[in-house]
Amino acid sequence: MQPSVLIIYTGGTIGMVQRPEDGSLAPVNFDELSKEIPLLQKFGYHIASITFDPVLDSSNMTPEVWVKIARTIQENYAQYDGFVVLHGTDTMAYSASALSFMLDNLDKPVVFTGSQLPIGQLRTDGKENLLTSVEIAAARKNGRPLVPEVCIYFDSKLYRGNRTSKIDSQHFRAFDSANYPALAVAGVDIDYAEEFITYPVSQGILRLNTELCTDVVLLKIFPGIKPSIVKAILEIDQLKGVVLESYGSGNVPNFEWFSKLISAATQKGIIIVNISQCSGGHVKMGLYETSVALQNADVVSGYDMTSEAAITKLMYLLGQGLSQSELVNYMTQNLKGEITN
Ligand code: ASP
């Protein structure tokens, strides 16, 4: 039987055209987009598409739209072998991370892609990104999908979605996954690194987690950060979780005021997750004197997670009504391949 792929078009540069009034780029619908890619038909697959209304510049992405993407996948799950989500690059890593936590028992590919240049432009990177993503979404070996994960395909590389960050706004290599190898590399052939792909062991039915708590904040430390600012952030009404972007291997200023504010926050029950501002490597609290106070304040190690994975994992876990110890436990555990442990 011919493979079937559903393309879910949420927006992004890939489907944008220049607005005559001011020359800025704005998204158009999939019918206009697909005129640019008649080659898709040559695969011989059954390909269908759904266009979101409205189509978004992904800077306007929200958890509500993540739920819409997840529901669209669920409603069409039985009919398709794989899914391609066309999405703006700006927040693609957040969306792919969020979806990895929201979809349980996933056993089919969900490939996010987009482009740096609109598909209508001659030098676009969008055609290759889309065509290869469709091929990956349809790829099977020994009767099972080759990549049953939420991933991002961009500029010849397939990455695990929750290991990826946008690293470039100018070049075609817009994404990288510093702490996890690529799941596939597309050249003349598409070479799948099966040893790095997670294959489901037991196959229950696809389940959605749509409760996400957004009472969270990302706090990036910098030399000169003021006590009043840290205090204002940590004392935000209803705040439940903080992703603390520390230096290097998890270090922060060990000024007394800073340690006190962090301890006061964790004592109030706010979960603070320590991740590094470095894209590669991992947090090791206690290695330097400048992270001991965090350890003593029960700050949780985010180890080698990306910011995007840490904040969306926190939203997901806080939405599950867990006890404090379960929350801490799950935060440090590998749930969807987002953390090494
Ligand atoms: N602003 C665009 C977006 O994220 C950028 C892109 O698609 O590359 O929707």
The pLDDT assigned to 341 comes to 82
**Residue whose CA is closest, atom 7 of ligand 1?**
88
CB 4 within 8 A of CB 79: yes
Query: Which residues are annotated as catalytic?
Result: 13
Locate the DSSP E strands across 233-326.
241-246, 271-276, 300-301
Provide the pairing of β-strand 241-246 with 271-276.
Answer: parallel
pLDDT of residue 270: 97
Determine the Cα–Cα distance for residues 73 and 199; give it in Å rounded to an integer. 19
Q: Where does 4-208 sit in CATH, by number? A: 3.40.50.1170
Q: pLDDT at residue 34 above 80?
A: no
CATH number of 216-331: 3.40.50.40
State in Å: Cα 90 to ligand 1 middle: 5
Q: Once rounded to an integer, what is the mean pLDDT over residues 295-309?
A: 97
pLDDT of residue 121: 86
Give the ligand 1 atom nearest the CA of 114: 7
pLDDT value of residue 260: 97
Whether 125 is in the pocket of ligand 1, judged by its Cβ within 6 Å, is no
Structural element, H or E, at residue 96: helix 92-102
CB 162 within 8 A of CB 336: yes
Specify the amino acid at residue 320. Answer: Q
Shortest CA distance to 337 belongs to which of 170, 208, 161, 165?
Answer: 161
Mean pLDDT of the chain: 94
Name which residue sits closest to atom 1 of ligand 1, judged by CA.
57
Q: Which 8-state DSSP code applies to residue 229?
A: H
Q: What is the pLDDT of residues 7-17, one digit of tens each?
A: 999 999 998 88
The neighbour count for residue 254, using CB atoms within 10 Å, is 14
Please state the rounded mean pLDDT for residues 123-131. 94
d(CA 329, CA 91): 27
- Per-residue pLDDT tens over the stretch 253-280: 999 999 999 999 999 999 999 999 999 9
Angle CA 186–106–205, to nearest 5: 150
pLDDT at position 69: 98
7 closest CA partner among 96, 71, 85: 85
Among 52, 57, 86, name the best residue to mutate to test ligand 1's pocket (greatest count of ligand atoms within 8 A of Cβ): 57
pLDDT > 90 fraction of the chain, expressed in percent and rounded: 85
Interval between CA 16 and ligand 1 midpoint (Å): 9
pLDDT at residue 37 in the model? 72
216-331: same fold as 4-208? yes
Domain boundaries defined on the chain:
4-208, 216-331
81, 140 contact by CB (below 8 A): yes
Over residues 317-338, the mean pLDDT reads 97
Strands (E), the chain: 4-11, 16-18, 25-27, 46-56, 82-86, 103-104, 110-113, 140-141, 144-145, 150-154, 157-160, 165-166, 175-176, 184-186, 190-192, 207-208, 216-220, 241-246, 271-276, 300-301
- What are 104's strand-pairing partners? 207
Q: Residue 319 — pLDDT band, cuts 50, 70, 90? A: very high
pLDDT at 26 over 90: no
CB 89 near ligand 1, within 6 Å: yes
Per-residue pLDDT of 169-206, as tens digits, reads 999 999 999 999 999 999 999 999 999 999 988 778 99
**Range of lowest pLDDT (18-27, 219-228, 259-268):** 18-27
Q: How confident is the model at residue 72 (pLDDT cuts 50, 70, 90)?
A: very high
> Between residues 42 and 340, which one has the greater pLDDT?
340
Residue 59 in contact with ligand 1 by CB distance below 6 A: yes
Model's pTM, two decimal places?
0.96
36 pLDDT tier (thresholds 50, 70, 90): low
CA 133, chain centre distance (Å): 16
- Indicate whether residue 15 lines ligand 1 (CB < 6 A): no
The percentage of residues in the chain with a pLDDT greater than 70, rounded to a whole number, is 98
Q: How far is the CA of 1 from the centre of ligand 1 (A)?
A: 36
